[in-house]
Amino acid sequence: MEHFQFLRDLEQLQFSGQLSWTSTTGQQWTFHLFKGNIMYATGGMHPMRRWRRNLALHCPRLPSHRLGWQADLASADAAISPVGWEYTLLNLWVAKQRITPEQAINIMLSTLVEMLFDVKQAAGVSKQIKYDESLAAQVGFAQVEDVIAKTQSRWQAWEDAKLAEHSPNKAPIIRQPEQLREHCSAQLYQMLVQRLNGEHTLYDLAVQMQRDVLDVTASLLPFIQLRWIELVTISDLPALIYPRQSSKPILPPAVAPKSLIACVDDSTLVRNTMEALLTSAGYEFLGVDSALRAISVLLARKPDLIFLDLVMPEANGYEVCEQLRKLSCFRNTPIVILTGSDGYSNRLRANFAKASGFLGKPLNAEAVLGEIRRHLEQGATSFIAPTR
């Protein structure tokens, strides 16, 4: 699935920053990553409901009311984390030994799986990433593969139960009480009337009943299909009011934001991940999938910096680099070789080909952006020196 694969790409890049998905209805989910691992996620349909039920599920001894959370935030010495007030509270509670690191990780993992599940279910989702080197994992983080595996398992079970068109963020409400009364025991009917009042989502009910949300929803499905029960959209709980403190500002790149960066690589994965990273950082991107086409495409666009894959089917990166250096318009253009083998002989040959830099694969987001800043800030190319 595209959403899952993109997370894997960011993990491989050791990306630090925000990944935001936005649906056609304007719903937004923001995942905060540190060096490719997921710290937390914010946004979604019911952030307050989600926070409260995950607290009740994993930390039942903690205060479940807003006043307690606000008091803890007000007493915190540090600024609110750029990841959000929820992540700030988790760090604070772990530091004060009110919860264990394992409990904090469980809350994070439950939140991430819920939100990635919602992204999977949403229609017409677009994505955007924003590089942010100010982020730092404190209480811990979740492994991308763990989040993906749990989400895939939940979604597959949801589909198998014929629930794909029903969101667990919706609230069940009884529409035909008489029909329901005739087909249920008195005890079951009273329980349904008490709980299915349109004020609690399926997620909420599952935590209250200490059951899995799949089981709760599947048990109601026959009544939903008969239209005796309807799933309705409800609002979130009131947002938390807390003292906002300024966090460390993110410095804009020193390079002109519209510099054109090219990447010549036959790998679709490499080109796509480079495009996502560079466009989010404010650069224009030019992807070239063939060494044979590279010269003509680059001549037509004249990029400010070129990333050049070392191993391609038609020609290697050294040959393409040597050809580019023979052209006056590329004599001083920074050309950075991409390779999975960062050895002395490769560096020596790259130096003879007059390459400007050398980056190892798998790519690292911080290293890629650092290489761009280093070359474009100095305004002219310099050739790499081979080192043993």
Q: Say if residues 38 and 32 touch (Cβ distance below 8 Å).
A: yes
Q: Is the pLDDT of residue 88 over 50?
A: yes
Question: Against a cut of 0.95, is the pTM above it?
Answer: no
* pLDDT for the residue 382: 52
* pLDDT for the residue 72: 81
Percent of the chain with pLDDT over 70: 88
The conformation of residue 86, written as its DSSP 8-state character, comes to H
* pLDDT for the residue 311: 84
* pLDDT for the residue 298: 94
Partners of 38 in the β-ladder: 33, 142
Highest mean pLDDT among 47-56, 80-89, 267-276 belongs to 47-56
* pLDDT for the residue 365: 83
62 vs 59, 105, 198, 292, CA distance in Å? Answer: 6, 15, 27, 63
* pLDDT for the residue 350: 56
At how many degrees (to 10) do helices 317-325 and 291-301 cross? 30
Nearest to residue 201, comparing CAs of 118, 124, 108? 118
Task: Determine which helix (DSSP H) or strand (DSSP E) holds 174, and give its type and residue range.
Answer: strand 171-174
Reported as a single tens digit per residue, the pLDDT across 172-181 is 999 999 999 9
Reported as a single tens digit per residue, the pLDDT across 258-302 is 799 999 999 888 898 888 888 878 899 999 998 888 999 999 999
pLDDT grade, residue 348 (50/70/90)? low
| 120 vs 365 pLDDT, higher one | 120
Q: In what side-by-side order are the strands of the sheet with 17-22?
A: 37-43, 28-34, 17-22, 126-131
Token output for 224: 């939903």
Q: Is the pLDDT of residue 144 over 90?
A: yes
d(CA 326, CA 329) in angstroms, rounded, equals 9
Give the side-chain half-sphere CA count within 13 A for 143: 4
pLDDT grade, residue 76 (50/70/90)? low
Token output for 371: 């290489």
Average pLDDT of the chain, as a whole number: 86
Percent of the chain with pLDDT over 90: 53
3-state secondary structure of 368: helix
pLDDT grade, residue 347 (50/70/90)? low
Reported as a single tens digit per residue, the pLDDT across 95-141 is 989 999 999 999 999 999 999 999 999 988 998 888 887 777 777 88
pLDDT grade, residue 362 (50/70/90)? confident
Q: Is the pLDDT of residue 255 over 50?
A: no
DSSP notation for 102-145: HHHHHHHHHHHHHHHHHHHHSSS-EEEEEE-TT---SS--B-HH
pLDDT grade, residue 312 (50/70/90)? confident
